[in-house]
Amino acid sequence: MTTPNRAIIWDMDGVLVDSGDLHYEAWREVAATELDIDFTRELFDRIFGMSNVDSLYHLLGNDANPEFVERVGWQQDDVYRRLAAERVQPIPGAFELVRACDAAGWRQAVATSAPAETLDLILDKFDLRQHFDVAVSADEVARAKPDPALFILAAERLGTPREMCVVIEDSLNGVRAARAAGMACLAVTTTHDRSALDGANHIVDSLYDVTQADLAALLGGAQHSRER
């Protein structure tokens, strides 16, 4: 039985699944044919967590052709899904925590900057859909993280007050979006080190370190980052 007055909102890439290297491969493949830039790992680290549209404007400038941006963004998604269908792996501890929180009555949502087709691939590949009350993709909001729209929509669909939501994130843009939404944020250092996650209420190096008591404690409204 779910408890409507508390909820967990999960990011997907870097939180539920270890997708960074596959996204990097996809960007490298697309950049080699479509973008006149040297797509380095440093560039990738700067855009990881953004939507593809925002990533491309960041890489090419705000005067980039919108039709080109949309086409290349979809191309990157297609390449990533081809790779992910065979090779994407769970983040250690993530699925175990999802299942435990579901069994304990937490309401849960996944809210991702990825498009719906990619979200569906991950939920179905790992049989996760049954554990989430709500799934929200970037297709459903006008503005990407660090704008809070994605998390606000997830909370509305959950029917849970924002102050009773804990967001689990791995990027600074995600942390900023959670805090702008008025939600507590637990950050995990799967894709960024602790210094890049400033603003999270709590930072861990592994989701195996997270208990339901830790998540419940975050709903007390802590205002400052705490480190384990």
> Mind giving me the DSSP string for 120-172?
HHHHHHTT-GGG-SEEE-GGG-SS-TTSTHHHHHHHHHHT--GGGEEEEESSH
The conformation of residue 195, written as its DSSP 8-state character, comes to G
**Whole-angstrom Cα Rg for the chain:** 17
CB 128 within 8 A of CB 122: yes
Farthest-apart Cα atoms in the chain, separation: 53
Catalytic residue among 11, 13, 77, 133: 11
Query: What is the spatial distance between Cα 226 and Cα 203, in angstroms, rounded to a whole number?
Result: 7
* 11 classed as catalytic: yes
Q: Are 109 and 9 in contact (CB under 8 A)?
A: yes
Which residues lie across from 52 on neighbouring strands?
Answer: none
- The catalytic residues are 11
